[in-house]
Amino acid sequence: LDVGLDLMSVVGGGTIQIKNVTLEQPDISLRVLKSGRANWDVYVSDSAAAAKGQDTTAVSLAIKGWEVKNGRLRYEDLTIPFGMQARGINHTGSGDFARNVFDLVSQTTADSFSMQYDGTEYISQKKLTADVTMAMDLGKMLFTFKDNRVQLNDFPATFQGTIGLPNDQDITYDLTFKALETDFKNILSLVPGAYTKQFQDIEAAGKVAFEGYFKGVQNAVKMPGYGLNLQVKDGSFHYPQLPQRARNINVDMAVDNPSGFTNNVKVNVKQFHLDLGPNPIDGNVLIDGLEPMRVDGRVKANVDLAEMLKVYPVQDLILRGKLLVDGKAKGVYSKTQMPVVQARLNLTNGYVKSKQVPAPIENLTLTGTVTNPTGQLNDTRVDIPQVSLPSG
C-alpha cells in the first residue's frame, strides 16, 4: 500500500489531502450476511467511543486519485442474493473528493470476471474492460453515468441513468443499458468456452439487438426490477477448421421482472431456431414465475449427431446417430404438479467414443414417449418400448 499525502494539509489541521493511493496485488473479500451485517463494518460508533472517553472528532479526508494493480475482488451479498468475482484487476480512478460536485473518471480491466444471481451464474470468467465517467453529487448522494463503455469479451455495452443513496437503508437505481455493437459475433463471445484462440478466427454473420433496464429500490425487503430484450436475426457462425456452418439462427427473447422478486420473473422466448448444418432445431417457451412455475413451451429437433460435430468443435469426442426430439409442455410445475406433457424421443444407430473411455459405445437405440394428460404427478407415463444397449 502506497499513499501520497500533501504534508501541509496533515500538519495544518484541516482536510487531509490524499494525492494518490496505490494497492499492489490486493486480495479483497467483501461479504454481507442475510441479516444485512457486512464484514467491512468494523468502525466503532461515536456513542461507543465517547463512552470509553475516546476522541470522536471527525477526520476530513479528500482523495484525488487511486490505483489498483493486479488485484482480486470477491463480493457476496446474501440479502439479494448476489455474488461476483474478478481476478487480474487493474484499475485507475480520479476525482476531487474535496468538492461536493465533480466527475469521477475510472478505467478498469480484469482478466476474469464472473457474476451470479440467486444461484445462477450469468457471467462466467469473461474478460472485462470498463471506462466510466460518473457525475458525483455528494450533497445529494446521487451518481449519474455520463460517458461510459463496458465490454465483456468482445461484447460492448453502455449504461445511462442514476444510482442514489437517499438514506442509510435504501439504494435507488434508474438505469438502462444497451449493446454498442450489432454484429452477431460480438455476443457469441459471451457463450461459455467461446473465447478461445479458435474463436478469434470464427466466421460469423447476422445482427443483434440487446437492451434492458434496472430500476427501483434496494433495501432489506425490496429489490430493483429488471428486464432485457434480446433479438438475433439471420445469425450464422463457422469454425474454419470444420466443414459445416450453423445457419439461420433467429432468437426473440424477453425477460421482465418489474418487482425485482425472483419468483415474479417472466421469460418469454418467442422464437428460437437454429440449423446445425442440415439439421433444424426449433423451440419456444413462456415461463411465468418460479414457485410455482407456469410453463408453455415446445422443442423440436431432428439432428444427425455426426453432423453436429462438424459445426461445433468438441475435443476428443465422436458422436454418431440420428436423434429426434419432439415435445411440448403446458401448465404449472411445482412440488405437487407438473405441466400437461407430450414428448417423443427417438435415437437410432447411436455411437459414442471419448478419450476418457477406451472402448466406444455403439449400436445405441432408444424409442420412448413421456405423457401427462392431466398435470397430476400420478398421471405421468413414461413408455420406452424399445431400448438397445451393447452387450458386454
* Residue-by-residue DSSP string for 371-392: EESSSBGGG-EEEEEEEE----
What confidence score (pLDDT) does residue 55 get? 63
What confidence score (pLDDT) does residue 309 get? 86
Tell me if the pTM is above 0.85: no
At position 17, the amino acid (one-letter code) is Q
The pLDDT mean for the chain works out to 90
Helices (H) and strands (E) in the chain, counts: 5, 21
Q: How is residue 306 written as a grid cell?
A: 455426426
Residue ranges in the chain modelled with pLDDT below 50: none
The CA distance from 274 to 303, in Å, is: 11
What confidence score (pLDDT) does residue 58 get? 63
The CA distance from 141 to 146, in Å, is: 16
The CA distance from 336 to 201, in Å, is: 49
What confidence score (pLDDT) does residue 137 get? 97
The CA distance from 309 to 45, in Å, is: 63
What confidence score (pLDDT) does residue 17 get? 87
The CA distance from 166 to 142, in Å, is: 8
Closest CA to 158 of 148, 166, 172, 145: 148
Closest CA to 267 of 239, 297, 238: 297
The number of angstroms, rounded, from the C-alpha of 184 to the middle of its chain's C-alpha atoms is 18
The CA distance from 236 to 282, in Å, is: 15
Q: How is residue 200 written as a grid cell?
A: 478469434
What confidence score (pLDDT) does residue 59 get? 66
Q: Is 372 exposed, middle or buried (0-12, 13-18, 19+ CB in 10 A)?
A: buried
The CA distance from 152 to 109, in Å, is: 10
CB atoms within 10 A of CB 152: 21
The CA distance from 42 to 184, in Å, is: 47
Give the pairing of strands 16-24 and 65-77: parallel
Q: How is residue 159 written as a grid cell?
A: 449504461
Are 17 and 64 spatial neighbours (Cβ–Cβ below 8 Å)? yes
Are 125 and 157 spatial neighbours (Cβ–Cβ below 8 Å)? no
Are 283 and 298 spatial neighbours (Cβ–Cβ below 8 Å)? yes
What confidence score (pLDDT) does residue 33 get? 93
Closest CA to 317 of 356, 363, 276: 356
Residues 122, 325, 392, 356, CA torsion sign: negative
